[in-house]
């Protein structure tokens, strides 16, 4: 069943995304207005989450949502699959997500992502990537938008300890914003490198926000270490199936 459901979901994903060709053409003709593009991007993400729920049986639940600051903040989350990149477009409307430029190469979707919630950086050019990240984050904050970063730099396994890249500390120091750590366990159901998704419930856990002006050590203890401690709730309780295990489960 996991294989069959994953294939059906991939077909749904392609068909749903194809429906956005017409809005793309209309919005491009209108000069790419940011607000309608962001609305269309969120609608697309909601449709993907709907397909995951109805076809795969993969839903989500939020814990501690009341901890989200009322003002713009820096959100830092662990990264285990494509799920959280999609979901945060819905969970935190108008959030500006720091993302690698490979994402905008995706047909149709890439056009919307480049023009709406993403801060696109070229990780191969370290110094320029940092400048772009800081400048565009400041611009997003000036618009009243929060900034989301996955500081691990790439998707990791739920069993591996969380290790942030140094860029997030620099961004924290430059922005002077409260920081909201977020832990997700999406890797249990959408494993990195696995072709198949599993049914279940992804947990999005919002942790205690940190104030600006902390030292590097205080920042890491309050974000990286806090997220890692939260992930211990799920480590060992359930293990993500390997691609081979999923193939054995399939009909």
One digit per residue, the tens of pLDDT, for the chain of length 251 reads: 678 999 999 999 999 999 999 999 999 999 999 889 999 999 999 999 999 999 999 999 999 999 999 999 999 999 998 899 899 999 998 899 998 877 777 889 889 988 887 888 887 776 888 888 999 999 999 999 999 999 987 787 777 888 898 889 999 999 999 999 999 999 999 887 666 789 999 999 999 999 999 998 899 999 999 999 999 988 765 554 444 433 433 33
Q: Which pLDDT value is given to residue 237?
A: 57
Q: Which pLDDT value is given to residue 194?
A: 61
Cβ atoms 158, 235 nearer than 8 A: yes
pTM above 0.95, yes or no: no
Cβ atoms 109, 21 nearer than 8 A: no
How many Cα atoms are found within 13 Å in the side-chain-facing hemisphere of 6? 18
Say how far apart CA 70 and CA 18 lie, in whole Å.
Answer: 36
Q: Which pLDDT value is given to residue 247?
A: 40
Cβ atoms 133, 171 nearer than 8 A: yes
What domains does the chain contain, in order, with CATH numbers?
2-249 (3.40.1130)
Sign, Cα dihedral of 30, 35, 41, 46 = negative
- Nearest alpha carbon to residue 172 among 218, 139, 206: 218
Say how far apart CA 107 and CA 24 lie, in whole Å.
Answer: 11
Give the 3-state secondary structure of the chain. Answer: CHHHHHHHHHHHHHHHHHCCHHHHHHHHHCCCCHHHHHHHHHHHHHHHHHHHHHHHCEEEEEECHHHCCCCCCEEEECCCCCHHHHHHHHHCCCCEEEEEHHHHHCCCHHHHHHHCCEEEECCCCHHHHHHHHHHHHHHHHHCCCCEEECCCCCCCCCCCCCCCCCHHHHHHHHHCCCEEEEEECHHHCCCCCCCCCCCEEEEEEECCCECCCCCHHHHHHHCHHHHHHHHCCCCCCCCCCCHHHHHHHCC
Say how far apart CA 223 and CA 204 lie, in whole Å.
Answer: 15
């Amino acid at each position: 069943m996991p294989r069959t459901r994953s294939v059906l979901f991939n077909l749904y994903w392609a068909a749903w995304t194809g429906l956005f060709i017409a809005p793309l053409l209309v919005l491009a003709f209108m000069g790419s207005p940011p607000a309608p593009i962001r609305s269309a991007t969120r609608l697309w993400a909601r449709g993907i989450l709907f397909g995951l729920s109805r076809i795969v049986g993969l839903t989500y639940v939020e814990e501690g949502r009341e901890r989200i600051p009322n003002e713009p903040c820096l959100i830092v989350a662990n990264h285990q699959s494509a799920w959280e990149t999609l979901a945060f477009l819905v969970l935190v409307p108008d959030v500006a997500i720091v993302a690698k430029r490979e994402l905008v190469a995706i047909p149709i979707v890439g056009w919307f992502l480049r023009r709406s919630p993403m801060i696109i950086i070229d990780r191969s050019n370290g110094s320029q990537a940092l400048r772009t990240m800081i400048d565009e984050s400041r611009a997003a904050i000036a618009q009243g938008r929060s900034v989301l970063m996955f500081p691990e730099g790439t998707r990791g396994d739920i069993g591996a300890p969380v290790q942030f890249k140094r860029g997030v500390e620099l961004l924290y120091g430059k922005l002077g914003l409260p920081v909201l750590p977020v832990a997700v366990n999406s890797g249990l159901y959408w494993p990195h490198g696995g072709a198949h998704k599993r049914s279940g419930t992804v947990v999005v856990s919002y942790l205690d926000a940190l104030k600006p002006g902390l030292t590097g050590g205080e920042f890491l203890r309050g974000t990286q270490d806090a997220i890692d401690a939260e992930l211990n709730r799920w480590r060992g309780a359930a293990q993500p199936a390997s691609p081979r295990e999923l193939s054995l489960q399939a009909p």
